[in-house]
Chains A and B, each alone.
Chain A
Amino acid sequence: MSKKRILLVEDEENERLLYKEELEKEGFEVACCQNGNEAIEFIEKSIYDLVILDIQMPHMDGIETLGKLLTKKRNLPIIIYTAYPQYKDQFLTWAADAYLIKSSDLTPLKDKVKTILTGKNG
Chain B
Amino acid sequence: MGNRNITTFILAGGKGERLYPLTKDRTKPAVPFGGIYRIIDFPLSNAINSGLRKIYIFTQYKSLSLHSHIREGWNIFSRELGEFIDLIPAQQRIGEEWYQGTADSVFQNINILEDEKPELILILSGDQVYKMDYRRIINAHLEKKADLTISVFEVPLKEAHRFGVLRIENDRVVEFKEKPSEPITDPSNPEVALISMGIYVFNLDILIKRVIEDAKRIDSSHDFGKDIIPSMIGRDNVYAFRFIDENKKETNTGAI
> What is the interface of chain A, defined by CB distance below 8 A to chain B?
67-68, 70-72, 74-75, 89-92, 94-95
Residue of B nearest to A95 (CB): B212
Contact in complex: B97, A71 (CB < 8 Å): yes
B157 within 8 A of A: no
CB-CB under 8 A from B256, the residues of chain A are: none
CB-CB under 8 A from A91, the residues of chain B are: 110, 113-114, 208, 212
Distance between Cα atoms of A72 and B96 in the complex (Å): 9
B215 within 8 A of A: yes
B4 within 8 A of A: no
Distance between Cα atoms of A68 and B110 in the complex (Å): 14
Q: Which of B93, B95, B97, B209 has the most CB of A within 10 A?
A: B95
Distance between Cα atoms of A91 and B204 in the complex (Å): 11
Interface residues as binary, B166-206 with A (CB distance below 8 Å gives 1, 0 otherwise):
00000000000000000000000000000000000000000
Distance between Cα atoms of A67 and B211 in the complex (Å): 13
Residue of B nearest to A78 (CB): B216
6 pairs of A and B residues whose beta carbons are closest in the complex: A71-B95, A67-B94, A95-B212, A74-B218, A91-B110, A91-B208
Contact in complex: A90, B94 (CB < 8 Å): no
Contact in complex: B215, A95 (CB < 8 Å): yes
Contact in complex: A74, B217 (CB < 8 Å): yes
Distance between Cα atoms of A41 and B55 in the complex (Å): 37
CB-CB under 8 A from A90, the residues of chain B are: 114
Distance between Cα atoms of A72 and B97 in the complex (Å): 10
CB-CB under 8 A from A92, the residues of chain B are: 94, 110, 212
Per a CB cutoff under 8 Å, which of A68, A70, A89 touches B216?
A: A70
Residue of A nearest to B204 (CB): A91
Contact in complex: A68, B217 (CB < 8 Å): no
Interface residues as binary, B99-122 with A (CB distance below 8 Å gives 1, 0 otherwise):
000000000001001100000000
CB-CB under 8 A from B94, the residues of chain A are: 67-68, 70-71, 92
Query: Taking the nearest CB of chain A, how far is it from the CB of B226, in angstroms?
Result: 16
Distance between Cα atoms of A74 and B110 in the complex (Å): 17
CB-CB under 8 A from A94, the residues of chain B are: 208-209, 212
Given contacts A90-B114, A91-B113, A95-B216, 11 further A-B contacts (CB under 8 A): A67-B94, A68-B94, A70-B215, A71-B96, A74-B215, A91-B114, A91-B208, A92-B212, A94-B208, A95-B212, A95-B215
Contact in complex: B212, A68 (CB < 8 Å): no
Distance between Cα atoms of A75 and B208 in the complex (Å): 17
Query: Taking the nearest CB of chain A, how far is it from the CB of B122, in angstroms?
Result: 18
Per a CB cutoff under 8 Å, which of B93, B96, B216 touches A74?
A: B216
Distance between Cα atoms of A70 and B215 in the complex (Å): 8
CB-CB under 8 A from B209, the residues of chain A are: 94
Contact in complex: B218, A75 (CB < 8 Å): yes
- 15 A–B pairs (Cβ distance < 8 Å), ordered by A: A67-B95, A70-B94, A70-B215, A70-B216, A71-B97, A72-B95, A74-B216, A75-B216, A75-B217, A89-B114, A91-B113, A92-B94, A92-B212, A95-B212, A95-B215
Distance between Cα atoms of A92 and B96 in the complex (Å): 16
Distance between Cα atoms of A70 and B113 in the complex (Å): 19
CB-CB under 8 A from A72, the residues of chain B are: 95
